Amino acid sequence: MNVRAVFIDMDGTLLKASNTISRRNMEAINKLLNQGVMVFLATGRHYEVTAPYHQEIGLKTPMICLNGAAIHKAETGRAMQMKTIRLNEERFHHLTAEYPCNVLIHTANGLYCKETNEEIDYWTKIGRIPPQFIGDLRQANYQDVLKYSVRTNTPSLELSILFKKEAAIINWHDGFEMVAPDVSKWSAIKSLLHSYRLSPNEVVAIGDGPNDVEMLRSAGTGVAMGNASEEVKAAADFITGHHEEDGLAEFIERYLLKPYSSYAI
């Protein structure tokens, strides 16, 4: 198969738990780029904490952020596309107030959150932009919401299901996220395929999380990381190594780099 583009998730795929890109992953991606293969990042992160890694690799392609709710230009960071979500805010805050949880609201104007934590402190350090608001979100004047994240530190299917008519829901082991209906990493990829005149069959998608399932199923070749759940692995065509053991580079080296490309997919 002729692979022309690779879409790569960040956390649990490109990055180690230390939020760093290994030398082996970096070298594998650079070799892909030298072969003329386009490489894109497709992440649940917001732009400000995606761009530094995008720049570190030296990519020139647009960034898919917030699970597909936003696509940003490489050169300027300007949003090429944003898809906002509308919830009944009064109902949302009433329901989440009944659970011990943190609530993060990603908007076109920045992050609003109920409380800060180590992850948000890291985002502030990397992205160099602090949250717009920390506190009782019922008092926050936010608009143009791109993603809601409810962190309960436990699976929360009984809560997330209450929003199924209003949002596309991604359930995690520590809570859930919501974006607009029909928004996903794959929906964002599809819009880029048209722009770059690519066929889905020419695309490899690599990821590890529930927010990656649709793109793994829909791309010409879907690759699940070794650290992915069984549900995610079931959606993929290939399973590679753990993200702490350079599973991303392992797949690229084995199946995508010349002279090995004649073997595979």
Per-residue pLDDT of the chain (265 residues; tens, 9 = 90+): 589 999 999 999 999 999 999 999 999 999 999 999 999 999 999 999 999 999 999 999 999 999 999 999 999 999 999 999 999 999 999 999 888 999 999 999 999 999 999 999 999 999 999 999 999 999 999 999 999 999 999 999 999 999 999 999 999 999 999 999 999 999 999 999 999 999 999 999 999 999 999 999 999 999 999 999 999 999 999 999 999 999 999 999 999 998 744 444 5
Position 98 scores a pLDDT of 83
User: Half-sphere exposure of 136 toward its Cβ, with a 13 Å CA cutoff?
Assistant: 5
- Is the domain spanning 89-179 CATH 3.90.550.10? The answer is no
Domain 5-82+183-262 CATH class label: alpha beta
Position 1 scores a pLDDT of 55
Instruction: Give domain limits for the chain.
Output: 5-82+183-262, 89-179
What order of strands is seen across the sheet that includes strand 203-207?
38-41, 5-8, 203-207, 221-224, 238-239
Position 261 scores a pLDDT of 43
Position 36 scores a pLDDT of 97
Tokens for 32, please give them.
């892909």
Q: Which long-range contacts (CB under 8 A, 24 or more apart) does 57-64 make?
A: 57/21, 57/26, 57/29, 57/30, 58/30, 58/33, 59/33, 62/192, 64/7, 64/40, 64/185, 64/188, 64/189, 64/192
pTM of the model: 0.95
What sign does the CA torsion over 242, 25, 188, 52 have? positive
